Chain A
């Protein structure tokens, strides 16, 4: 038995069946464009604000891209029972779920670079610390994907997954320091900010793009890693408890 064959084929199947479909590609392009435009207009400033907006737009693109897709791929397959095929495969359960989430992680990373490519035409990106930016993008994609998995496992219908994920996603836009600094939030909201994984990812992105970060990169990335492990473990536990009845 070669588990990597199963892993690779699950990933390729999901990419072909879900992520590389034209509606999803256009979603990946239009969504970051809309966010960039929205905040650009809101800020009322000129092109110099692009570098300040870029980390937030990148983080939001990853968050919405990954959580939306996973709600479909996992919840839909659970609903039509094709997910049982995967549960019957003789590969380790953890590897199976990693395969199932890898497509969303890659989709999230690809989404992240859409605003970067757009920004490259309007601003000088040569000062971005790519050695920090790229790992941060990857870690945010992993954490957001596992958050999406956690949500997908908690519900039984695709529309429920979308609704439930908005419960997490929209507060994260305002609480995680993407566009509004955490220091300016009311005191009672600050603990909530630090309980959300995107706070640490956004901090690294801000640091990598324009140097304004609150915590050391290594601490941010370690905490993000801890969120990834925690969310993945809870999701697996939930699947075993709820789906393998």
Chain B
């Protein structure tokens, strides 16, 4: 593989399940050493795309190249190059953590000494040494995710596919996993990451594709994606007892500002110029409102995601948490 070769190239990928179009004309490439994010809501086509790239599903149309190998007609041709961490922890419940890792290493042809050494190294690196002798079925969710990631990199793959790695685990474990992902990226592994956590994608990824209803609606670097909103000034005000027509009143009184009411007594104020909070607070109190808090918001990828896809990030997160447990 030369420096210029794209590590993953997907061109016009499409996949239907009966009448449902899961993936529709998806085209993108991932460069060597890149951490590429695939961001979208539940059912957007993220897992189907990963399955097609890793040989667990066949594309109806389109082409796939992994590490320069054409996998379009031979979906399993590049499996020696890749590691996969699926969206569910699917190791063997009857085996211990150590046995699971050794078994996964054996699937990639590692000799006994090598696989035992690598398993110990990863168990230590992931903070699971004390649980090495326990059956996988007795692990907590966070531990299961960590061991599943360890199993995905046991053979030191050039390319790692991570499908929703932090979904359904506690905040501390999620933070630890993000650190592990960042470390793998720094070590030179090309990573394809699907997530519905926008902050996670923003924090970890170099480039991001937004996928909605099976179609990629935007691909760019995080810097380029955020640029349009970075010039904006945003203030969020928490205010109780607001009259129903408060938005109209605010728009009439502050013509240079854009207002959005967000439910639960929140008002979002946007402007190309710095927003003066004092007059806004006074106005709201004159209207009978009780202002609890007013804070400047750092414009984020979430704003862009909402703008492009029309999907509220909160709704996406709640929907996923309902399906897979909270983070």
A interface residues (Cβ-Cβ under 8 A, vs B)? 1-3, 5-6, 8-10, 13, 17, 80-82, 84-91, 93, 244-245
Contact = CB atoms under 8 A, between A and B. Distances in A.
A242 to B, nearest CB: 11
A90 B76 contact: yes
Contacts of B57: 244-245
A17 B151 CA distance: 19
Contacts, number: 72
A82 to B, nearest CB: 5
Interface stretch (B37-45, B78-86, B125-133, B181-189): B78-86
Contacts of B315: none
Nearest to B104: A85
Among B76, B80, B95, B151, residue most surrounded by chain A Cβ atoms (within 10 Å): B76
Contacts of B82: 88
A27 B73 CA distance: 44
Nearest to A240: B58
B311 interface: no
Interface in B52-81: 54-58, 75-76, 79-80
Interface string B95-118: 100000001101111110000000
Among A89, A91, A93, residue most surrounded by chain B Cβ atoms (within 10 Å): A89
A84 B88 CA distance: 11
A6 B108 CA distance: 7
Contacts of A13: 92, 95, 103
Counting from the closest, the 7 A-B pairs by CB-CB distance are A9-B106, A89-B107, A90-B80, A81-B90, A90-B79, A2-B109, A1-B109
B109 A82 contact: no
Given A13-B95, A90-B79, A1 B58 contact: no
B91 interface: yes
A1 B111 CA distance: 10
A87 B108 CA distance: 12
Given A17-B94, A90-B79, A84 B56 contact: yes
Contacts of B93: 80
Given A1-B108, A82-B90, A89-B108, 12 more contacts: A1-B80, A9-B103, A9-B106, A84-B86, A85-B91, A88-B79, A89-B79, A89-B107, A91-B107, A244-B57, A244-B75, A245-B17
